[in-house]
Amino acid sequence: MSGGAILPLRLDGIRYEAGGNVILRGIDATFGAGTRTIILGANGAGKSVLLRICHGLIVPTAGSVRWANGEARPRAQAMAFQRPVLLRRSVLANIEYALGLAGVAGTARREQAAAALARVGLSAIGTRSARVLSGGEQQRVALARAWALRPSILFLDEPTASLDPAAARNIESIVQAIHAAGTKIVMTTHNLALARRLADDILFLHDGAVVEAAAAGEFFSRPRTPLARAFIEGELS
C-alpha cells in the first residue's frame, strides 16, 4: 500500500453534467507524487465534484481518470470531507472499521488504529463516542482514519471550512504531517491564506474549467490570467 506506484494520476478531458448543468467542461490535469496540490476556485467552480471524480465517488460524463498502475480505483487513496462522517461507535472503533475494510485484522488493526489516533493527538479520547465530539475533533478523527490507511494520495474537500480558526490550524498541521510522512495531498479550498501556506502547486478552476495550473509561488506572485489575478485580489468568491 505504499510507494508512489499509483501516481501520477492523470485526468483527461473530464466532463461532468448533472440535471442539464455542465459542472466540469473538459478538465486535463496530472497529480504527481510528493507535492501538495491545492485546487483553488470560487464556490461553484466545480472543485468538490472534481475531487470526487478523482476519488472515484462520481463517474464523469466523459473523459478518463487514469492511475499509473492501471487500476480503476486503487485502494491506496483516501478522502476527508468537509463534514466528517463518523459511525455511531467509539473513536477507535471508527478507525478500526476503516482498517478492517482495508483488510487489516486482529492485533495489527488495534495497534494501527491506536497509533493513528496518537498521531493526531487524540489518544485520550479513543473510547469516547465519535459523534458527540466537537467538529474539530471529529475532523481530526476523520484524518486519523484516512491516515491509518497509509494512502499514497489523500483528497481533502475543504476540510477546515466549517471549523473555528484554532481547530482549522490544528487540521492544517495534521495535513502537513501526513504530507511529510509521504502522502500526496490534493485539497480544495477557497481560502487563499490556507492555500499560500500549504500549496506546492495550484490548480485554479473557474466555472468548470482549469484556468491556471502552476507552481504556487508563481501563481501567487505572477498570475497569468485576469481571472486568477482577480481571485487572488479577493474579487472573486
Partner 1 sequence: MRDFTLALAGAARLLAQGDPELWQIIRLSLAVTLSATLVATLVGAPLGALLAIARFPGRRVIVVVLNGFMGLPPVVVGLGVYLLLSRSGPLGALGILFTAKAMVIAQSLLITPIIASLMRQVVEDAWSEYREQLVSLGASAWRSGFTLLWDTRYSLVTALLAGFGRAAAEVGAVMIVGGNIANYTRVMTTAIALQTSMGDLPLALALGCVLIAIIIGINAIAYGVRNWAQRHYR
* Part of the chain binding partner 1 (CB under 8 A), chosen from 95-103, 109-117, 187-195, 216-224: 95-103
In this structure, are residues 171 and 160 in contact, taking their beta carbons and an 8 Å threshold? yes
Nearer to partner 1, 89 or 224 (CB): 89
* Helices and strands in the chain: count of H runs, count of E runs: 8, 9
Q: Which of 11, 38, 49, 98 touches partner 1 (CB under 8 A)? A: 98
Q: Applying CB under 8 A, does 91 fall inside the site for partner 1?
A: no
CA distance 64 to 133: 39
Q: Applying CB under 8 A, does 93 fall inside the site for partner 1?
A: no
- Residue at 112: amino acid letter: Q
Nearer to partner 1, 129 or 200 (CB): 129
Please return the burial class of 9, using the count of CB atoms within 10 Å of its CB with bins 0-12, 13-18 and 19+: buried
Binding mask 5-44 for partner 1 (x = CB under 8 A): ----------------------------------------
- Residue at 236: amino acid letter: L
φ/ψ of 13, rounded to 5, equals 60, 40
- Region 123-152 residues binding partner 1, contact defined as CB under 8 A: 129, 131-132
Q: Applying CB under 8 A, does 109 fall inside the site for partner 1?
A: no
Output the DSSP codes for 159-214.
TTTTS-HHHHHHHHHHHHHHHHTT-EEEEEES-HHHHHHH-SEEEEEETTEEEEEE
Q: How far is the CB of 67 from partner 1 (least distance, A)?
A: 15
Q: How many CB atoms within 10 Å of residue 160?
A: 22
Q: Applying CB under 8 A, does 215 fall inside the site for partner 1?
A: no
Q: Is 225 helix (H, G, I), strand (E, B) or coil?
A: coil
Q: Applying CB under 8 A, does 87 fall inside the site for partner 1?
A: yes
Q: Which of 101, 105, 108, 118 touches partner 1 (CB under 8 A)? A: 101
Q: How far is the CB of 64 from partner 1 (least distance, A)?
A: 20
Cell 490544528 found at: 170
Nearer to partner 1, 88 or 222 (CB): 88
Q: Applying CB under 8 A, does 49 fall inside the site for partner 1?
A: no
Q: Applying CB under 8 A, does 198 fall inside the site for partner 1?
A: no
CA distance 156 to 141: 14
How many CA atoms within 13 Å lie on the side-chain side of 16? Answer: 26
The DSSP element (H or E) to which 40 belongs, if any, is: strand 36-40
Angle between helices 135-148 and 91-101 (to 10 degrees): 30
* Part of the chain binding partner 1 (CB under 8 A), chosen from 17-25, 80-88, 168-176, 224-232: 80-88
Q: How far is the CB of 101 from partner 1 (least distance, A)?
A: 5
Binding site for partner 1 (CB under 8 A): 52, 55-57, 75, 78-79, 81, 85, 87-89, 97-98, 101-102, 129, 131-132
